Amino acid sequence: MFVRIADGEGKRVVVLIDDAPFEGRQGDSVATVLLLAGKVGCRRSFVSGEPRGPYCMMGVCFECLVRVDGIDGLQACMIPIRPKMRIETSIARA
Amino acid sequence: MNLHGCDFAVIGGGLVGATIARGLASGGLRVVVLDDGDIALRASRGNFALVWVQGKGSDMPRYAEWTRQSVSLWREFCTEIAAETGLDVSYEQPGGFHLALSEEELEYLRATRHVGPQPEGTAYPPCEIMSASEIRSHLPHVGAEVVGGSYCPLDGHVNALRLFRAVHQAMIVRGVDYRPNSRVTEIGFDGVFRLSLEGAGAIMADKLLLAAGLDNARLAPMVGLAAPVRSQRGQILVTEKTLPFLNFPIATVRQTDEGSVLIGDSQEEVGPGEAVATGIASVMASRAMRMFPSIAGLKIVRWWDCARVLSPDGYPIYDHSRSHPGAFLATCHSGVTLAAAHAKLLTPAILNGGLPEQFAAFSSRRFNVCAHS
């Protein structure tokens, strides 16, 4: 499980991950809240069907693709969370 | 054997150098690979990963033959590499297509492919021209603008980055001493080669292979050889991964074993340092979408250019120095396709001490101008 190193001052930001509310901090990326929410796998490989999730955390590996506010295929690690953001993984849908 | 060096020094740790170094080490020799660092213009990391014979060597039958020899050895080569490293490079040989988007392009394919039964002893691979409907029966996702194409059953593709990694790992497994960031500045020779390294030191070697790609142009004259190679830019676009839909590699579009679509095969006569503009990439993307309209919805996630290593006629150079016996040179722009031939045909020749007659056509002496009286 992923745990915050320091759970300090950051302002609370509530997003929806697969329809469930989750409280992150201002400045978190979508990938950060996915990992904190235990959604380590957020999609499945098109070829093998294996789960895939945030890996490089810096925009390079394209493993953490999710749907954000209705737009498919976005890199979770590159998007800061906003209040009421709707994050949808495809692990169950696939 | 000299005391303070190695039996064989290979300059260049790309696909060509690493493949040959692996083979040299299996002969029990102490092999050192002197490689550049991460800034190297590394064709091995930028290529399109086809293992391809179609259209190769149209004006040099010996090259067409060499390419076919390599392809016939490729399965065995990658099986060996897998056994040594546990890495499967995903070699597939379903046959490959060139697709024509106009009658002119189809006419070009008809004129340049050697279609139908070939005369005895010919070097050219079997190839057939297909109509649009024949193409569609093999490639159901093909677009309406495709008027036909050519197909060769010997063509295939691999995962080239994994191949590069696997060949490196195999050479290490076989005991090669791999030294990155070791740029050779000077080569001395008094029966033994003395390679001066940038920054510090030198290394002695009984024998030497220059496999440094574009840098062979600088190194070859140090051992009485010539490698008049130039850099030609190729660009590649890579899409996000998607469901497998393309079961055959096309010369300019292929889907990798991991689901990405690669769009490639541009050729620009510009140096490696020059800025990349979007013009060529737009044409590549547009042509690929006309061939396979369903890819239009995919995102491009990577776009790179790489420097092809081209000789004046585009064909490989393999040489053994007359003035510096024991100094060999190998350079080509199809290091993936030719990897098996390099491992199984060229390396044994080098281990035997020289390049026999069948390599004569690949000597750089073919570029010399001869005066006839």
Best mutation target, B92, B245, B258, B301, to test chain A (most A CBs within 10 A): B301
3-state DSSP assignment of residue B119: coil
B60 within a domain of the structure (yes/no): no
pTM recorded for the entire structure: 0.91
Domain limit, last residue, from B153, B172, B191: B153
Q: Which two tokens stand for residue B213?
A: 């790609």
Helix (H) or strand (E) holding B318: strand B317-320
Q: Are residues B131 and B268 in the same domain?
A: no
B329 within a domain of the structure (yes/no): yes
- Evaluate if residue B173 carries a pLDDT over 70: yes
- CA gap B7, B204 in Å, rounded: 8
Terminal alpha carbon distance of chain A: 24
User: How confident is the model at residue B139, as a pLDDT?
Assistant: 97
- Cβ-based neighbours of A26, under 8 Å, separated by 6 or more: A10, A11, A12, A13, A81
- CA gap B164, B3 in Å, rounded: 32
B224 within a domain of the structure (yes/no): yes
Is B234 or B4 the better-scoring residue by pLDDT?
Answer: B234
Q: Are residues B213 and B237 in the same domain?
A: no
- Tallying the residues shown for chain B, one arrives at 373
- CA gap B13, B177 in Å, rounded: 11
B203 within a domain of the structure (yes/no): yes
What pLDDT digit, counting tens, does each position of B266-289 carry? 888 877 777 777 788 899 999 999
Q: Which residues pair with B319 in a beta bridge?
A: B329
- Evaluate if residue B3 carries a pLDDT over 60: no
A9: closest CA of chain B, how far (Å): 35
User: How confident is the model at residue B365, as a pLDDT?
Assistant: 94
For residue B351, the enclosing domain spans 5-47+161-229+313-367
Q: Which of B240, B258, B301 sits opposite A47 (nearest CB)?
A: B258
Surface-to-core class of residue B229, CB atoms within 10 Å of its CB (0-12 exposed, 13-18 middle, 19+ buried): buried
Q: Are residues B121 and B170 in the same domain?
A: no
- Are B237 and B281 within 8 A, CB to CB? yes
CB-CB under 8 Å, A46 with B241: yes
Q: Which of B244, B299, B301 sits opposite A46 (nearest CB)?
A: B244
Q: Are residues B325 and B304 in the same domain?
A: no
- Are B205 and B8 within 8 A, CB to CB? yes
Closest CA to B132 of B105, B170, B165: B105
Q: Are residues B338 and B225 in the same domain?
A: yes
A10: closest CA of chain B, how far (Å): 32
CATH of the domain at B346: 3.50.50.60
- CA gap B70, B22 in Å, rounded: 17
Q: Which of B240, B257, B301 sits opposite A47 (nearest CB)?
A: B257
B237 within a domain of the structure (yes/no): yes
Indicate the DSSP class of residue B147. Answer: -
Q: Are residues B234 and B358 in the same domain?
A: no
A15: closest CA of chain B, how far (Å): 26
- Are A66 and A34 within 8 A, CB to CB? yes
B47: closest CA of chain A, how far (Å): 19
B84 within a domain of the structure (yes/no): no
Per CB-CB distance under 8 Å, the chain B contacts of A73 are 240, 299
The verdict on domain A12-88 having CATH code 3.10.20.440 is: yes
CATH of the domain at B261: 3.30.9.10
B56 within a domain of the structure (yes/no): no
What is the rounded average pLDDT for all residues in chain A? Answer: 92
Q: Which of B243, B244, B301 sits opposite A62 (nearest CB)?
A: B301
Does residue B258 belong to the interface with chain A, where contact is any CB pair within 8 Å?
Answer: yes
Q: Are residues B300 and B245 in the same domain?
A: yes
Closest CA to A68 of A59, A78, A58: A78
Q: Are residues B279 and B214 in the same domain?
A: no
3-state DSSP assignment of residue B73: helix
- CA gap B125, B116 in Å, rounded: 10
CB-CB under 8 Å, A46 with B242: yes
User: How confident is the model at residue B200, as a pLDDT?
Assistant: 80
Residue ranges of domains in chain A: 12-88
Q: Are residues B140 and B276 in the same domain?
A: no
What pLDDT digit, counting tens, does each position of B327-357 carry? 999 999 999 999 999 999 999 999 999 999 9
Domain limit, last residue, from B127, B153, B179: B153
- Are B301 and B239 within 8 A, CB to CB? yes
What pLDDT digit, counting tens, does each position of B111-163 carry? 888 776 666 667 788 899 999 999 999 999 999 999 999 999 999 999 999 99
Domain limit, last residue, from B105, B122, B153: B153
- Are B241 and A46 within 8 A, CB to CB? yes
Per CB-CB distance under 8 Å, the chain B contacts of A46 are 241-244, 259
How many folded domains does chain B comprise?
Answer: 3
B88 within a domain of the structure (yes/no): no
- CA gap B277, B305 in Å, rounded: 11
Q: Are residues B236 and B303 in the same domain?
A: yes
What pLDDT digit, counting tens, does each position of B285-304 carry? 999 999 999 999 999 999 98
What pLDDT digit, counting tens, does each position of B55-96 carry? 998 889 999 999 999 999 999 999 999 999 999 999 999 999
Q: How many CB atoms lie within 10 A of CB A2?
A: 12
Best mutation target, A47, A63, A74, to test chain B (most B CBs within 10 A): A47
Q: Which residues pair with B157 in a beta bridge?
A: B50, B92
- Evaluate if residue B21 carries a pLDDT over 90: yes
Per CB-CB distance under 8 Å, the chain A contacts of B259 are 45-47
Chain A to chain B Cβ contacts (< 8 Å): 19
Strands (E) across B118-252 are located at: 128-131, 148-152, 156-157, 177-179, 184-189, 193-197, 202-210, 230-239
Does residue B240 belong to the interface with chain A, where contact is any CB pair within 8 Å?
Answer: yes
Q: Which long-range contacts (CB under 8 A, 24 or more apart) does B196-201 make?
A: B197/B34
Helix (H) or strand (E) holding B7: strand B5-11
Q: How many CB atoms lie within 10 A of CB B54?
A: 25
- Are B297 and B268 within 8 A, CB to CB? no
Per CB-CB distance under 8 Å, the chain B contacts of A45 are 241, 258-259
Does residue A65 belong to the interface with chain B, where contact is any CB pair within 8 Å?
Answer: yes
Closest CA to B81 of B163, B12, B145, B136: B163
- Tallying the residues shown for chain A, one arrives at 94
